[in-house]
Amino acid sequence: AADWAHLERALIRLYPALAGVAIEKRWFGRVAMTPDHLPHIHEPEKGLLAVVGCQGRGVGLMSALGKRMASYLASGDARQLPFPLSPIRPIPFHAFRQVGVAATIAWYRMLDALER
């Protein structure tokens, strides 16, 4: 509950009519980021696709992309894909991601607190 409290306060500040309305569903998850902020399609082996880097837009993007990926897998025609297959490359300084994520969360929580 404590993890959601600041979001609920912001929600009520933006939409006061929602005060007292119970929030029935909450979503959370990891956001896949890429250095160029674009999604990437990888094919580590024939017939196996991996899409990464939705930058928090995964629900809509994957819904739209699923049909195109299926067409590619069925036909082998890479023109079915909305962007090209790319090789899997290591992300520079990825070992330090935990520190970066923690610092970013702290920064935005501070900004949220200053808005109150």
Structure tokens given for 79? 């023109």
Whether pLDDT at 41 is above 90: yes
Sorting pLDDT into bands at 50, 70 and 90, what band is 52?
confident
For 74-99, what is the mean pLDDT? 91
Could you tell me the pTM of the whole model?
Answer: 0.60
Q: Give pLDDT, residue 58.
A: 74
- Name the one residue in this structure whose structure tokens are 């025609």: 77
- Name the one residue in this structure whose structure tokens are 């590619």: 72
In sequence order, which residues have a C-beta less than 8 Å from that of residue 87 and are 6 or more positions away?
A: 42
Q: Give pLDDT, residue 116.
A: 66
